[in-house]
Chains A and B, each alone.
Chain A
Amino acid sequence: MIKLLLFVLWIFIYFPIVIRPHKVRPFIAGLPYNLFWLLLFTLILLILVVIYAVTWNPEDEK
């Protein structure tokens, strides 16, 4: 389920929000608009991967 969630997040957050606007401003926390989203997305992705790793137990799934 979490794998699916990550996949959906990848498609729906990463491509439309980050890539489509082609915005440079406004600067957020000193970062350009697109880079702010990219870094935020990386952070969210990292948190999800960590949550997945902590809860993942393949031997219980069987």
Chain B
Amino acid sequence: MITVYAIVAIFILIGLSAWVSSRARFISKRSIEEFYVAGRNIGWIVTFLTFSATLFSAFTLVGMPGFFYTHGIGSWTFIAVVDTFMALMVPLVGYRIWKAGRKFHFITPAQFLGERYESYMTLVVAVVIQFLFLLPYMSIQAIGIAKLLQSAAGIPYLLGLVIALIATFVYIETGGMRAVAWTDAILGLTLFAGAYAVSFWFLMKHFGSLAVMFEKVYEVKKELLTIPGPKGLFTTPMLISFFIMIFAMPATQFQLTTRYFIARDLPTLKKSMIGMAVFASFVLFPSLILGIGGAYVWPSLKSGDMVLGKVLSELSPILMIIGIMAVFAAALSTIDSQLLVLSSLFTRDIVVEKKGELSVKEKLAINRAVVLILSIIVFLISLNPPKLIVQLSILSFAGTLQILPAMIGALYWKRATAPAAWISMITGVVVLVVLKFFNPGFNLHGWHPAIWGLLVASLLFVVVSLLGSPPSGRGREIFEEISR
């Protein structure tokens, strides 16, 4: 019976979001700027909710309780503190990107990089890196939804996958970015409210209060209440590594960078910055309760990722459905944004760059085909799901991090050159992959391989830039405009 309830609840959530997003149907297809960046006319509430919902994925409710369960309270620093701090990316990066988009009508961050460096190669390398690291990330989300629906509600894995991907396709096709942003607003609120409802119930049922929960955990597993945690994961080098990887995400993962384009004006950016910080500060507390409390209630689970499933299995049907909807909302709001940005990167930055001007209708038709093909690829990847969801997800941040020197150079350094940009991006990814998978014995001194990749990429970026001559035409004009 619970399967039927869950399917009905999910369709209600999808229907509600689709109804809200259908308001965008008529205006979004007027121009490609309307479709991909919502005419740069979104208010602050939707801007911060779509940013937050895109940032907080299924990882928030599935992976994070697992982190707290395994590594203890140090997990709070690794994500909640960094995500709150991340709001400062608005003045550091977002404002200049927003300004460039408004003045030069950029649709994608890769287009900005390509025109700023006057280099098609830079654009292509940035697009390839996004595809390389976002596709596995998207698949992780789809796997997260399907697994949860299977374990908690008895919905077959394949059916769960198909529901998630069709819902995403519908949102994007309904009205592009405007529809996705409004949908995300609904999904973000669902995630927030659902996470608190489920964790509060869990706390009351097993402990009665926070103080009792911590007292009990102290008695049986006090290492969970310390840093660097039972397995010593959160050492200072590793915390700083995570800090850099996560803090940089709005500049390096284009589904987030694109959100800076959509803000209506400067006051919208400022208010949305506050919204982002508040959302990030509070959204992870439920995961802390579930993970730390779960370690006392179920001390010998095979994997920390199973905590949420255990909690859901104890809930009354209504609360279970609320919990499932929260995870579904978290994953869906990330997948739809990633799918839209990848389709925009392919349609605008690869097809339109090569083919020249196309009509809006033609571009939208290409976009539809790209979204369909990407959905099929995600579906195929998800059929053979990898075991360590969290690790793959973290590799995604690590891979896109290698774009950071090129992005910061484009925004802040007049002397930055195109060869420096694409050489640094490629080298950073190569160093990361070699150190992660084929380390020939290089001592990382406790730092994540991504940081070594970033270090090499940054050095190369500076040296190669100093050896060449910076863009003197449109690239220089863009730089002067955003620095003004």
A and B: interacting chains: yes
Contact B227 A45 (CB under 8 A): no
Contact B81 A53 (CB under 8 A): no
Residues of B within 8 Å of A, CB-based: how many?
A: 36
Within 8 A of B (CB), among A4-56: 6, 10, 14-15, 18-19, 22-25, 27, 30-32, 34-35, 38-39, 41-43, 45-46, 49-50, 52-54, 56
Residues of A within 8 A of B84 (CB): 42, 45-46, 49
Residues of A within 8 A of B313 (CB): none
**CA A52 – CA B278 in complex, angstroms?**
13
A15 closest partner in B (C-beta): B236
B119 CB-CB contact with A under 8 Å:
no
Contact A30 B270 (CB under 8 A): no
Residues of A within 8 A of B401 (CB): none
The interface-forming segment of B126-134, B208-216, B341-349, B428-436 is: B208-216
30 contacts between A and B (CB under 8 A): A3-B91, A10-B85, A14-B81, A15-B236, A18-B77, A22-B226, A22-B227, A24-B222, A24-B226, A27-B214, A27-B215, A30-B211, A31-B214, A32-B73, A32-B214, A35-B76, A35-B225, A38-B77, A42-B84, A43-B281, A46-B277, A49-B87, A49-B273, A50-B277, A53-B90, A53-B270, A53-B273, A56-B91, A56-B273, A58-B91
**CA A13 – CA B234 in complex, angstroms?**
17
Residues of B within 8 A of A50 (CB): 274, 277-278
Given the known inter-chain contacts A34-B73, A54-B270, A59-B266, please indicate yes or no for A46 contacting B214, CB distance below 8 A.
no
A32 closest partner in B (C-beta): B225
**CA A46 – CA B314 in complex, angstroms?**
34
Contact B266 A42 (CB under 8 A): no
**CA A39 – CA B211 in complex, angstroms?**
15
**CA A49 – CA B279 in complex, angstroms?**
13
B201 CB-CB contact with A under 8 Å:
no
Residues of A within 8 A of B80 (CB): 42
B484 CB-CB contact with A under 8 Å:
yes
Residues of B within 8 A of A25 (CB): 218
Chain B residues in the interface with A (C-beta under 8 A): 73, 76-77, 80-81, 84-85, 87-88, 90-92, 95, 209-211, 214-215, 218, 222, 225-228, 234, 236, 239, 266, 270-271, 273-274, 277-278, 281, 484
Residues of B within 8 A of A42 (CB): 76, 80-81, 84, 281
**CA A54 – CA B271 in complex, angstroms?**
8
B94 CB, nearest partner CB in chain A, Å = 11
Residues of B within 8 A of A31 (CB): 210-211, 214
Contact A49 B274 (CB under 8 A): yes
Contact residue among B81, B95, B277 (Cβ-Cβ distance under 8 Å from A38): B81
Contact residue among B91, B210, B273 (Cβ-Cβ distance under 8 Å from A30): B210
Contact B226 A34 (CB under 8 A): yes
Contact A52 B214 (CB under 8 A): no
Contact residue among B85, B266, B278 (Cβ-Cβ distance under 8 Å from A58): B266
A40 CB, nearest partner CB in chain B, Å = 11
Contact A30 B277 (CB under 8 A): no
Residues of B within 8 A of A14 (CB): 77, 81
Contact A3 B88 (CB under 8 A): yes
Contact residue among B77, B92, B209, B281 (Cβ-Cβ distance under 8 Å from A46): B281
Residues of A within 8 A of B225 (CB): 24, 32, 34-35
Contact A30 B214 (CB under 8 A): yes
**CA A14 – CA B273 in complex, angstroms?**
22
Residues of A within 8 A of B227 (CB): 18-19, 22, 34
Which one of B90, B225, B273 has the highest number of Cβ atoms from chain A below 10 Å of its Cβ?
B225
Contact A52 B281 (CB under 8 A): no
B243 closest partner in A (C-beta): A10
A10 closest partner in B (C-beta): B85
Residues of B within 8 A of A41 (CB): 81
A42 CB, nearest partner CB in chain B, Å = 6
**CA A34 – CA B54 in complex, angstroms?**
30
